[in-house]
Amino acid sequence: MIEIDGRRLNARLQAFAAIGGTRKGGVNRQALTEEDRRARRLLAELAWARGFSVFQDPMANLFIRRAGQDETLPPMLIGSHLDSQPAGGRFDGALGTLSAFEVLESLEDAGIETERPVVVVAWTNEEGCRFAPGCMGSMAFAAGEIPAEWQQKLATDGAAFAGELKATIESLPRAQMLPLGFPIHAYLEVHIEQGPSLEAGGISIGVVTGIQGTRWLNVEITGQTAHAGTTGLAYRRDPLRALTTALSGLYEMIMPSDPDARFTIGRISVEPGSVNAIPDKACCTVDIRHPDPARLDELERSIASGITTEAERQRCTVAISRSFDMPPCTFAADLQQVVERAAAERGLESMNMLSGAFHDALFVNRVAPSALIFVPCLDGLSHNEAEHVEPEHIIAGCQVLAQATLLLVSTADS
């Protein structure tokens, strides 16, 4: 048994929420921005203050290591991310990262020596909103390399990925550099559910069995700009008419007929963007999710066909490309059992569930057994400044993480 310090954890969450804090009580701390760097620096300072060592890798993944009795053993890895959505909440990512750091401090406070080292991680760019795709840090860690094409990426605000990555790494000059990817024993991540199931069931711990697949598309329809007042219907080639008509049909078709499907248009824009000019370009992003990879393919085909049909009807051309494609995953059953046992040992009810959102654990699961622990959030709200987690659930999640970590580092060799 190990007791975490709930007051310290709550205070930490407040301190980090102030970095990039918004007027509405949320957080705007997008990946590789100055706010992101400030959060990373604060975590590193807290680590150094406790005598832990701080590392980072070429993806700016940040690691905090507490030594084990046998330093040759692959470490137990726990953590999450610190970056946020542009109008994000204070718990998405930060909860898991700071809970993991709280576990490290609690081990230190209790003077518990673990056989394996325990390493806390804050993965880079989980959100994927400033630079797509999401989970860049954990994806590159699992692959052992940074995809070459990432170097050319530009942020939605125009900043270059390569430069922002370099500046972020350099903002922590005291942290030692590690090569990308190293052997780990297992990975545990606490995260808010970002959905309503735990709250609805009155259950404080979700044991995540797997993650649905996600695919992101970029849609660009090209027509012809012309004067809004003089151009009759026969002369119009309006890409926005094509796009809105196609989307209207897809909204009606996809989610209402398949409760497991998710279909979201998060960005839409037109060019030239003048009140009295018919646009010549209409663009949007598409986010589709499904636990079944075959249905994901079907959905992508329906979307492409719906948009192409409407574009042709308006005598427009269309280009659709994938910017992200993440197949569904299943987590290791034995690790799920460790989490269930940890919850039971703390007297907490748990339930198995599928994750609607992807998380870093999905990618780490490719190289080591991983588990994802969910805690309820108010009204299932996330990616929203009003995102909220009750203190009792914060503490429960951290306790289960601490207990499961202890179970995993006390077991014999890997």
Cβ nearer to its own copies, comparing 27 with 186: 27
- In the complex, what is the shortest distance from the CB of residue 286 to its own copies, in angstroms, rounded to a whole number? 8
- In the complex, what is the shortest distance from the CB of residue 229 to its own copies, in angstroms, rounded to a whole number? 4
CA 255/CA 250 separation, integer angstroms: 8
- In the complex, what is the shortest distance from the CB of residue 131 to its own copies, in angstroms, rounded to a whole number? 11
- In the complex, what is the shortest distance from the CB of residue 250 to its own copies, in angstroms, rounded to a whole number? 9
CA 180/CA 332 separation, integer angstroms: 24
CA 137/CA 106 separation, integer angstroms: 26
- Nearest partner of 356 among 304, 297, 287, judged by Cα: 287
- In the complex, what is the shortest distance from the CB of residue 402 to its own copies, in angstroms, rounded to a whole number? 25
CA 199/CA 392 separation, integer angstroms: 13
Cβ nearer to its own copies, comparing 54 with 246: 246
Cβ nearer to its own copies, comparing 53 with 231: 231
CA 133/CA 262 separation, integer angstroms: 18
Cβ nearer to its own copies, comparing 152 with 257: 257
- In the complex, what is the shortest distance from the CB of residue 178 to its own copies, in angstroms, rounded to a whole number? 29
Cβ nearer to its own copies, comparing 83 with 164: 83
Cβ nearer to its own copies, comparing 42 with 87: 87
Partner residues linked to 72 by β-bridges = none
Q: Residue 72 burial (CB < 10 Å; 0-12/13-18/19+)?
A: exposed
- In the complex, what is the shortest distance from the CB of residue 91 to its own copies, in angstroms, rounded to a whole number? 12
Cβ nearer to its own copies, comparing 251 with 366: 251
Cβ nearer to its own copies, comparing 88 with 369: 88
Residue with tokens 């718990």: 91
- In the complex, what is the shortest distance from the CB of residue 314 to its own copies, in angstroms, rounded to a whole number? 9
- Nearest partner of 248 among 175, 161, 309, judged by Cα: 309
